[in-house]
Structure 1
Amino acid sequence: MRRLLLAGLAALTVLPAAAVTPPASGSLDLETIMANPDWVGHAVEDPYWSADGRSIYYSLKRDGSPVHGLYRVDPASGQSTKLDAAAMASAEGPSVYDRAHQHAAFILHGDVFLVDLATGRRMQVTRSPQPESSPQFSADGRALQYREGNNWFVYDMASGVTSPAAVLKFADDPDAKKPDELGQQQLDLFKALRENKSDKDAVNANKAALDAADASRAPRPFWLGDKNQALDTELSPDGRWLLIVTQAAHHDDGKAPEVVHYVTESGYTENEDARTYVGRNDPAPQSLLLLDLVAHKQSTVATDNLPGIKDDPLKAIRAETVAALEKAGKDDDAKALKAPDVRPVTMYLDDGTGGGIVWSEDGRNVAVELRSIDNKDRWIASIDFNRHAFVPQNRLHDDGWINWNFNDFGWFKDGRTLWYLSEQTGYSQLYVKPVDGSAKALTTGKFEVSHPQLSTDGKSFYVRTNQTAPYSYDVYRVPSNGGALTRVTQYGGMEQFVLSPDDSQLAVLHSSAYVLPQLSVQSAQGSAPHELTNTMKPEFTAHAWIAPKIVEVPSSHGAGVIYGKYYGPANETDASSSRPAVIFVHGAGYLQDVSEATTYYQHEQLFNNLLVQQGYVVIDVDYRASEGYGRDWRTAIYRKMGHPELEDLLDAKAWLVKNHGVDPKRVGIYGGSYGGFMTEMALLRAPGEFAAGAAQRPPADWVTYNHGYTADILNDPQLDPDAYKTSSPIEYADNLRDPLLINHGLIDDNVMASDSIRLYQRFVELHKKNFWISLYPLERHEFEHADSWYDEYRRIDELFQTWVKPNPAP
């Protein structure tokens, strides 16, 4: 998920470490809490139902290994079985079903399997070294369709014959090549050449006639030219149409920076290309080809009729920048910023954050989700197959940027009605719309709706919402024709759910502050759950961990309530004494860490416990830009990253001073990734407010981050240079007054170590004091080695012990 690009999470896939024996109720130490997290337990991951709905599968990480094992559990008895290598041969993958619910299909070890649900008979359809994916049944239920890369195949269930749905050739048709002037002269001069050409044309014409008339023959190829490449293909269930998302074959992404590996198996320094910087080149525009597989015709679906596609939402910023460039005599740079007549779009994003194509079950309708490359607009459109044109169904515009989440969409069972999520009211809600009618909201309110699942009978949607409180998530049900939301689960920390094939049960992943995601099953109508797993380690659960208290911090800048998690002593009665405090800042920017579910930051949460043991109090807030609080909270940072968030962190500090006896001169701050960025912004934009800060893997200059994340929030640096100057810590380096520790993995290919090294050099040249950098040669963005975790937090602990905890001199 793009929102996680900046998350400095506590990685759970570390190398084996020595056994940990934590004290059940005694004091904590860094060696324990930064050890291999296998001693904590493991999260249950990726649950799905068996094809017959009688079992649930899930995966679980192995102790001392990054390998995950597959388990099968009986939801009635709760009996779990770990599948060994031999048992994996009879396992299943997540299933899809035909419209009559007589057959199921799934992918296992990259191959396609088919199950007759009445008899339980199982058939392996493919056995190949290339992985297959995306199984779907034909509209008439007679065939199983699947893909290998971007090539689709059709397995006829009666005959057992497999054939390609289409043959795609990204080259020019050699038989359609017209002779040039010299070639035509040769044909005019020589009779034998004319006869040879006529014979060749006759053979080709006969083959084309046979191909068109004989369904048992392989289909004729589509010659698509060598100028484009396929990013995605989607076959209609009726087998009539194939949609191809394309982009230029040789798009220049711009120069990529290199990550240098200093500690290597070879003993030699090794270089690795990383992602390109924002603004080096915009993403390649994408186009949509429509192939008629029956008539063997192809056409491009134009986008120029999408509402608003010819608008320039950046017109005012563009004019200001162009004027400044022209004034500076940079006319060529000014011309390069000219707005396009029709904004380019994308229809396929390989990071799972939106875009895509969804066919109706009967194959007679298709919906395509498109985004403008400037990410100010999202469209959902169907296609008029006769006119080869988009039919706009919904436009979502945002002056900031379209969210990376809440872009789910699909079809009702009738194949004529769309459903989709939209933030158009300021909060993600669920909508339905007939292709020739008006949209209707199925949910309304100031809460987020996500992960909609339409029941097999089409009568209900099951969704994840935080209707009761921003930090509390559960499964709710809403009738597909409209009605009230009904709460189905009662966890508050519900994370994921999967509806059973017969709509009767829910498999639910849920967690709490110190319990990693666990699996339960319950009635889809709502009932007491049956807990199926307990994968936490007794050594961990025996300790008396501090239950974080969810608190409301009033905003002094008109933002309303800032939600936080407060860590303090169990018997806190005297709030008048002066005490030290630490603010932890979560990463990713758009991430929610104040919730009833487990935290994304396991190491940091244990470190917060250690800090309380040492006499600090700790708060962790969902500053503006965090997930879970609606569009306005998310886009408050548009063109000014690090500014609203800092206001919220300062409000959190003031709340600690007022309510928990904190000395305003003894407050430290730390965080990773976006949290590291905010630590640097806090020290550099509010000098004197924090006694010290520790920034892990922080972006120090947004012009060196990637396009997908940064351009959404700050636009392109060429177009909006002021937004980058406003938002980058390196621009405020001269303000450093307070001790700053920077920790960074040297082979970080997300936020480059060069960000921290460049900022360090600025401090050197500015003759600053009390700044340090610690570099980790074998760590990427998410640290993987327990030794590195320990060393990093030992340095943070020493920083706070030196500069935050001591009482100031009188």
Structure 2
Amino acid sequence: MKRLVRNFAISALSLAVVTGCAATNNTSSTTAKITAPSIQVPLAQPPKAQQKLTLNQIMANPDWMGVLAKGAYWADDNQSIYFARQAHQAPVTDFYNLSISGDDEAKKIALNQLHLADQKQGQLSTDGTKKAYLYQGNVFVKTLASGDIKQITKLNTPINEIKYLSNGDIAYWMKNSIFRIHQDSGLVEQIADIKMANAPKGVVEPSGYIAKQQHRLINFVSMQHDNAKAKQDYKKSVAEQDPSFASKTWYLGDNEAVADMSLSADGRYVFVALVDKNYSWRSDKDIMPNYLAQDGYIDAVPARARVAEDNYPGQRFVLLDLVNHDKKEITIEGLDGYDEDVFAQVKAENAAAKGETYNSKKQPRKLRLLQDWTWSQSAMQWHGADDSLLVMVEGVDNKDRWIAQVNLDKGTLTTKHRLHDTAWVNYTFNQFGWLGQSKDFYYLSEESGYSQLYLQQEGGKVTQLTQGKYVVDDVTPTKDGKYIYYRANVDHPGSYNVYRVNTQTGKNEKLTDWLGTLDYQLSPDETKLLLSASSLLKPAELFVQPIGGSMKQLTHYTSKAFSSYPWQAPQVVAVPSTHGAEAIHARVYLPQGYDPKSAEKYPAVVFNHGAGYLQNAHYGFSVYFREFMFHNLLTQQGYVVLDMDYRGSKGYGRDWRTAIYRNMGHPEVEDLKDGVAWMAKNAHVDAKRVGTYGGSYGGFLTFMALFTEPELFQAGAALRPVTDWAHYNAPYTANILNTPDIDPIAYERSSPIEHAQGLEKPLLIMSGVLDDNVFFQDSVRMVQRLIELEKPMFETAIYPVEPHGFKQPSSWLDEYRRIYNLFEQELK
């Protein structure tokens, strides 16, 4: 349930047909704001479709819409790009190369040439002349000036990671062993052999009376002991003095496993994070049954642990000095608040509910390296010129995120920045790193209420480089540290552009001018942007834009059948809140022939997006492309459709995100209630003929709306829905509701199964049996609960071969045919 403008004003009446805007050369940081239609402005009438949509077409194999480019990245020559295309459910992916000149068609890369393609995750040498990369688990090196490529390893056991060292050597690691390829000789040296075992005891001296007597009286026994000891000492001396021997083995104990590790720029130090070897994200008590296994029997598929049983033990940090063969345990006392009782208030409330008293006390908290869900950057950042190390650590309790410097001599941490949140620290917006070759570092933080970009100088002075009520993400510093590029929704929460800030002057520049959503990559020579951009009616295509220039479209993979159809673009509106919140951004679709003065009011459907923390009321093409088409079909049948970014959604800052802390399903339903009232007032909707539906988190909200506000909707469809948060996963749920053992109040308040007695209107429950995200068991438990409550107004549909995200077009068709029939029956 995770894993989803500007420079000119757009009038309310034009919003229904806006599909995107070409870029301009304007790089000014002062831009006009896009304003959503106010409730006083009449909504624009939708265009009339030339033909009626059908569910069979909408839910068909999506390849008819076009097989789009994905995973695009720059070639090293800055003159072409690489990307992949994969047809729906195709077993293999095709890779392409395309010149940015736009003069040639994309060229499909042959299988025997894939290893020569420039690799997106390659590592540049310190002098910038070479690039090392992994392909199929082996090391390749490319000389950038000539383009020559040399394969360095040819192994069956894949290499996990590579790194250019400061002297030009290449380091790589396989599992827990680190190797160094010497550039001058080609020698492969194992510089670290880490074994998760106890060190061998070696020859043991006799102890106790009987053993000592044996050695004293029996010459053969004492001779064996002395020879073994001499042999042991000899091997030790040879290993220490013979230069042909590899480095000593590190024995880190047999109780833990390596969670992550990172090598310093000069290859001397290794920072290692260790975790209890017995911990597993899988449940040891449960399985997910596959009733249609290929052998005809039931296949017991392993299942993830639930938040109620998942107890992550935290990590322990050690530093290995490969030169002196010295190990230091990293102490955590240098982290501000490392021993705070961050759950004191929550525990006191839960104790009081049971008539008990909670006494707060300090104790060290469980920590781990932070793993952001949206970026692949390491939480361990070594400086490129020396052995300075920054680490990003988070509390397992989700309340703190620290950026700390590691003292390599003492094995201590020094807090450079602490981000504390009484709700939870966001699992996005955590990029950080050194700025060029300086000792300054940048980082993202939500401390102002919105994700903004900060710079901390070597002396500790902090400068906020961006500020405002908008979200900054996707940070890219230039090699010299002069600029930092970033993406932000400055002009409107639902539209994103690329900006850059001068780290010396603090001047921000807007580089793209796009109405929609986009992702970017800075070219290797830092003169151009590769963009993947979409708008309301246009799926994402690839564009290139020189810095200071205009966008040029590179790909045209959206099918003619899709692009030529007169789709109705949703209008992006701001719904006033009556519950003390900011305005609720939403998409609204109006019915064909919409007449606000007609005698009969319209029925309506409210769609609830999934993931909770996801943004869908934006100006880009929705990830819910099937739902977008379904909503167009509903408008042809006379419905108004509303799609709201309720509280908890992404893109609106920290307070909007954390409004659901310990209270999931209640603020969001208040927002849905405001949405229905808004439609009744502004879209000529009959408030007594409104239904709702959604999947995953959207299914959860459908439950909560029907159970806690039974008069709000006349029918609802819950797809792959969460019914009890204690059964969902720990990484997501523990952020918002803490854990069931600490905060049962939050779980009982927020879980639909606790409110099922409120059901009074028709409900459709639909789940995939092979859903390894929201278990099918969620729906099974809810069905039994409703049966025992003697609720007659629900039906259930199951999909035996489907995971969380359905795959088969026939399943999509069956699912949405049932949703459509429910609304036709109950709302008309």
- Deviation for aligned residue 1:362: 2.3
Q: Aligned runs of 1:463-612 on 2, under 5 Å?
A: 463-523=486-546, 525-569=547-591, 572-574=594-596, 577-612=600-635
CA distance in 2, matches of 1:532, 1:149: 40
Q: Which residue type is aligned with residue 164 of structure 1?
A: Q
Cα drift, residue 255 of structure 1: 3.9
C-alpha separation between the residues in 1 aligned to 2:307 and 2:612? 17
SS of the residue 2:2 aligns to: helix
Assess if the C-alpha contact under 8 Å between 2:61 and 2:88 holds in 1: no
8 Å CA contact retained: 2:260, 2:272: yes
Tell me which of 55, 61, 66 is aligned to 1:36: 61
- Structure-to-structure mapping, 1:126-525, within 5 angstroms: 126-141=153-168, 143-175=169-201, 181-182=207-208, 185=212, 187=215, 192-251=220-279, 255-322=284-351, 341-347=363-369, 349=371, 356-523=379-546, 525=547
Give 2:45's aligned residue. Answer: none
1:110 pairs with 2:137? yes
Give the letter aligned to residue 239 of structure 1: G
TM-score (norm 2): 0.90
SS in 1 for 2:173: strand
Q: CA deviation at 1:415?
A: 4.8
Q: CA RMSD in A?
A: 2.3
Aligned-partner Cα distance in 2 for 1:707–1:184: 53
For residues 633 and 177 of structure 1, what CA distance do their matches in structure 2 show?
A: 64
For the residue of structure 2 that corresponds to 1:382, the secondary structure is strand
**Count of matched residue positions in the alignment of Structure 1 and Structure 2:** 778
The more displaced of 46-55 and 694-703 is: 46-55
Pair 188,237 (structure 1): closer, same or farther in 2 beyond 3 Å: farther
Question: Do the aligned partners of residues 151 and 512 (structure 1) sit closer, same or farther apart at CA in structure 2, a change above 3 Å counting?
Answer: farther
**1:613 partner letter:** Q
Distance 1:189 1:501 in 2: 76
Deviations 1:675-711 (A, max 9, x none): 0000010000000110100000000111111111111
Amino acid paired to 1:500: S
> Which moves more between the two structures, 777-786 or 132-141?
132-141
Paired residue for 1:13?
none
Report the 3-state secondary structure (helix = DSSP H, G, I; strand = E; otherwise coil) of the residue aligned with 1:676: helix
Is 1:24–1:539's contact at 8 Å kept on the other side of the alignment? Answer: no
**What amino acid is aligned across from residue 115 of structure 1 in structure 2?**
K
2: CA distance, partners of 1:161 / 1:171: 28
| C-alpha distance in structure 2 between counterparts of 1:179 and 1:320, whole Å | 59
Matched, 1:96 2:131: no
**Correspondence for 1:3:** 2
Secondary structure of 2:266's match? coil
Letter in 2 for 1:258: I
Q: CA deviation at 1:477?
A: 0.8
Letter in 2 for 1:301: I
The CA distance in 2 between the partners of 1:629 and 1:472, in whole Å, is: 12
- Residue 792 of structure 2 corresponds to 769
Q: Find the counterpart in structure 1 of residue 653 from structure 2.
A: 630
Is 1:120–2:119 an aligned residue pair?
no
Q: 2: distance between equivalents of 1:419 and 1:216?
A: 43
* Aligned CA distance change for structure 1 residues 351 and 177 (closer, same or farther; 3 Å): farther
2:489, 2:777 → 1: CA distance? Answer: 39
Separation (CA, whole Å) in 2 of partners of 1:256 and 1:304: 36
Shift of 1:98: 1.3
Quick one: distance in 2 between partners of 1:206 and 1:52?
Answer: 55
Structure 1 SS opposite 2:111: coil
Distance 1:567 1:163 in 2: 64
Q: CA deviation at 1:480?
A: 2.2
Distance 1:196 1:324 in 2: 70
Report the CA distance between 1:583 and its aligned residue: 0.4
Partner of 2:265: helix, strand, or coil? coil
- Give TM-score, length-normalised by structure 1: 0.92
Partner-residue secondary structure (3-state), 2:154: coil
Q: How far off is 1:456 after superposition?
A: 2.0
Question: Contact 1:92–1:107 at 8 Å: present in 2 too?
Answer: no
Quote the residue 1:331 is aligned against.
none
Q: Residues 196 and 78 from structure 1, CA distance in 2 versus in 1: closer, same or farther, beyond 3 angstroms?
A: farther
Q: How far has the Cα of 1:119 moved from its partner?
A: 2.6
Paired position in structure 2 for 1:665: 688
Say if 1:89 and 1:364 are closer, same or farther in 2 by CA, change over 3 A: closer
Could you tell me how far apart the structure 1 residues matched to 2:515 and 2:228 are? Answer: 71
Alignment partners' CA distance in 1, 2:362 and 2:92: 48
Instruction: Say if 2:811 is the partner of 1:788.
Output: yes
Return the alpha-carbon distance in structure 2 between the equivalents of residues 657 and 385 of structure 1.
65
Give the letter aligned to residue 229 of structure 1: A
In the alignment, which residue of structure 2 is the partner of 1:9?
Answer: none
- In the alignment, the residues of structure 2 paired with residue 417 and residue 563 of structure 1 have an alpha-carbon distance, to the nearest angstrom, of 38
User: 2:719 aligns to what?
Assistant: 696
Secondary structure of 1:157 counterpart: coil
**Separation in 2 of the partners of 1:279 and 1:89?**
45
Read off the aligned partner of 1:421 and give its amino acid letter: L
1:351 Cα deviation after fit:
5.6
Give the direction of change, closer, same or farther, for the CA distance of 1:381–1:77 in structure 2 (3 Å limit): same
- Quick one: which amino acid aligns to residue 53 of structure 1? N
One of 740, 750, 753 as aligned partner of 2:776: 753
In structure 2, C-alpha distance between the alignment counterparts of 1:184 and 1:617, rounded to whole Å: 90
| Cα deviations by residue, 1:724-748 (Å, 9 ceiling, x for unpaired) | 1110111111111010001000111
Equivalent position amino acid for 1:297 in 2: D
Check 1:119–1:692 CA distance in 2 against 1; reply closer, same or farther (3 A cut): same
Aligned residue in 2 for 1:17: none
Write the distance in 1 (CA, Å) between the matches of 2:474 and 2:222. Answer: 64
Query: What is the CA distance between 1:173 and its match in structure 2?
Result: 1.6
Cα displacement (A) at 1:162: 1.5
Q: Which shows bigger deviation, 439-448 or 643-652?
A: 439-448
Q: Deviations over 1:535-566 (max 9, x none)?
A: 11111111110111110100111112100011
Q: Provide the secondary structure at the position in 1 that maps to 2:562.
A: helix
C-alpha contact 2:517 2:618 (8 A) present in aligned 1: no
**Could you tell me how far 1:74 is from its partner in structure 2?**
1.0
Distance in 1, matches of 2:69 and 2:745, equals 45
| SS of equivalent to 2:142 | strand
The percentage of aligned residue pairs carrying the same residue is: 38
Structure-2 change in CA distance of 1:24 and 1:646 (3 Å) = closer
Please list every run of 5 or more consecutive structure 1 residues that lacks an aligned counterpart in the other structure. 6-22, 328-333
How far apart are the structure 2 equivalents of 1:205 and 1:121?
Answer: 48
Counterpart residue identity of residue 344, structure 1? K
Written as runs of structure 1 = structure 2, the 5 A alignment for 1:645-664 is 645-664=668-687
Deviation at 1:515, TM superposition (A): 2.4
SS at 2:441 equivalent: strand
Q: Is the 8 A contact 2:372 2:427 kept in 1?
A: no
Task: Name the stretch that deviates more: 150-159 or 316-325.
Answer: 316-325
Q: Which amino acid letter does the alignment assign opposite residue 267 of structure 2?
A: G
Partner AA of 2:311 in structure 1: D
Q: Tell me which amino acid in the other structure corresponds to 1:426.
A: G
* Deviation of the 1:140 alpha carbon: 1.9
Displacement after TM superposition at 1:669 (Å): 0.3
Paired position in structure 1 for 2:75: 50
Matched-pair contact (CA < 8 Å) for 1:346–1:355: no
Other-structure match for 2:30: none
